[in-house]
Structure 1
Amino acid sequence: MKNLCLVLLLITNFNFAYCQIENTEEHPEFSKNINFKSVQNDFNVEKPSLVQRLIPVALITSGVLLSTSDFEKALQSDVRNSVGNDFYTTVDDYFRYAPIVQMYTADMLGAKAKNHWFDQTKNMALSLAIANITSTLLKKEVYKLRPGGGTNANSFPSGHTTTAFATATVLYEEFKGSNPLLANSGYLFAAATGTLRMLNNAHYLSDVLVGAGIGILSAKLVYQFDNLIKWNPFKKEKGFAFAPQFSEEGFGFYFTRLF
């Protein structure tokens, strides 16, 4: 478990690394041939705030420390007793995807987002892929039994919660600059998903905390380097031309691109 904590914290530190390009005024001889300002605009990534750094770190660290402890076992017993052993709902199966519905609904209603809908879809897919692959690998590595008993040893971390916080973070990144209320609303569904996983007796608190941290980190990682993945076939590219060409010698294609 200590090794697991170390790996997760290393991923966290890598996720929040950011690039800087040295000021060209100190080396004017280079600025004659290279437009460093243009390069910086293309490859610069946003430095996250201290709060953005601490939240996923705190979630993952707390979850790792609480896992298999007597405290979380007692807490899970109290949580289950508060709703009864017969309690079961499938709402959490849908809540984890609610931020996706929110994002596309906002797009259709004309809400201003950070990216084009294709880039939103691309970032959402990448975030979910990273989050779910990480979650699945950890489930196999940790091999922790679920609180409901049986032989199903894939409790840590919570896959539902991982997905929910990944989708919520994508929604947040897209609308934090234009509509903070909408941007943060996805976390309500994410938190509800994690809570319902515990009420359903499917996960312990530590499973939910680590899942939330992984989900947030996965989406943050994608948006950290969003400027490096600019391909979008639905947006017209400036300085680009492609057309068929006919001549007496035959048929071909004309291609040009301005750099």
Structure 2
Amino acid sequence: MRFSLFKSVGLSWLLAAPVTSALAQQVPKPAADTLHKYERPATGLGAVEKKSFFQSKGFRASIIPAVLIGYGVSTINGHGFYSSYQAHDDIRRVFGDYRNHADNYLQFAPYLELGGVLLAGVKSRNDRVNLGLVILKSELIMVTSVYIVKFATNIDRPDGTPTAFPSGHTAQAFLAASILHTELRDKSQWYGIGAYTIATGVAALRMINDKHWESDVVAGAGFGIFSAHLGYLTHRYRWGHKPNETATLHVSPLYYAGATGLSLNWQLH
């Protein structure tokens, strides 16, 4: 009897082994996760990776204006590396008594360039409404900041008239150039190169015409660029775009308590 029991158990095991092996071969293996293999493992609450300060929009928008304004301040009068007095002496030695009034008009030339390009059919980064609002906001920032600093510092110009620092003409020219560059840089970098060349020419003419010191025009360029950047950074783009929402209206007959009518169902998607 013991032999029969061992024999039965052994036979059952021999019969079950192939079945178990076959079932094991039929079970599909889980597919390899190829969608997330290159993702950085999530760490911390919410697994949100923050950019460093040097990668932030605020730092990138302010670093160049800060350098320009800082250098301009450092060269006021006879101070700093290649001071305003030194630059003035060199300019007068080269240009003498030469004067012209082209800078009064060239300060707005980048805007004329932008308008001409848009009229030619080139699409800007923003629609016309938002572009106009950015320009208006940037102009208000520039004019307010420049004139506050002008009257706070009260530095005389090379020709003896007051409120030299910073140069409003130069700030205006670089503000317009920065907006043009931002709006059209995806189309061609040459638009921005042309605008900044004009703005640099305005800065040079302000010194040649004996209206500003070197410190005034360098800092003015910084004020203009920063005003444009600040105008873009603070804009919410709520105007000039069609809403993405769509609405549907369903009308169906209604019968209730012996009265007939219509049922209106309005849904916003």
- TM-score normalised to structure 2 length: 0.67
Which residue is equivalent to 1:72? 84
Which residue is equivalent to 1:169? 178
Asked if 1:230 is matched to 2:230, the reply is no
Are 2:88 and 2:207, in contact at CA under 8 Å, matched by a contact in 1? yes
1:149-195 residue CA offsets vs partner (Å, 9 max, x unmatched): 2xx21100000001111111010110112221113321111100000
Uncovered stretches (5+) of structure 2, i.e. residues with no partner: 1-41, 48-54, 248-265
* Separation of aligned partners in 2, 1:207 and 1:81: 20
Identity in percent: 28
Cα gap change, 1:145 to 1:187, in 2 (>3 Å): same
Are 1:128 and 1:167, in contact at CA under 8 Å, matched by a contact in 2? no
Of 214-223 and 48-57, the range deviating more from structure 2? 48-57
Uncovered stretches (5+) of structure 1, i.e. residues with no partner: 1-22, 29-45, 242-255
Which residue is equivalent to 2:192? 183
Which secondary structure state, in structure 1, belongs to the residue aligned with residue 197 of structure 2? Answer: helix
Relative contact order, higher structure (CA 8 A, sep 6+): 1
Amino acid at match of 1:168: A
Alignment of 1:90-239 (within 5 A): 90-149=101-160, 152-226=161-235, 228-232=236-240, 235-239=241-245
Cα gap change, 1:190 to 1:258, in 2 (>3 Å): farther
CA RMSD of aligned residues (A): 2.8
Cα gap change, 1:49 to 1:224, in 2 (>3 Å): closer
Which secondary structure state, in structure 2, belongs to the residue aligned with residue 104 of structure 1? Answer: helix
Select 1:58's aligned residue among 57, 62, 67. 67
Q: Decide which structure has the larger Cα Rg and report it.
A: 2
4+ long deviations beyond 3 Å: 25-28, 46-54, 235-241, 256-259
